[in-house]
Amino acid sequence: MRVVKPGDVLDVGGVRVEAVPSYNVDKKFPSQEERLARLYRGDGRVRIYHAGDTDFIPEMKEFKVDIAMILCRDYVMTADQALKATLVMKPKLAIQCTTCHCGQ
């Protein structure tokens, strides 16, 4: 286990993992400092973003991703927020999770 903060980068078995901000803007959940999402890059060609439990946040405009995995449920991103996140990140593929706990 390693403690990381937004901006930290780890190499895990040849996969680059970047810690990026993840937080809720309109709910009483953990603060910005307590949450992280992940950007993964294996061979340097594909960047995968796993949103985790977050709302649409302004920082997403800076994420350069090829594949976005966005959790959309009643207590995290709404469908409108998920669409907005997808439009600002402009991934080649967006995967909307509604019932799973992938990576959680």
- pLDDT value of residue 104: 44
Give the pLDDT band (50/70/90) at residue 80: confident
- pTM for the full model? 0.79
Domains with residue ranges and CATH for the chain:
9-97 (3.60.15.10)
Q: What's the pLDDT tens digit per position in 15-34?
A: 888 888 888 787 665 555 55
Report the C-alpha gap between 88 and 39 in whole angstroms.
Answer: 16
Tell which wins on pLDDT, 94 or 3: 94
- pLDDT value of residue 15: 84
Report the C-alpha gap between 8 and 77 in whole angstroms.
Answer: 24
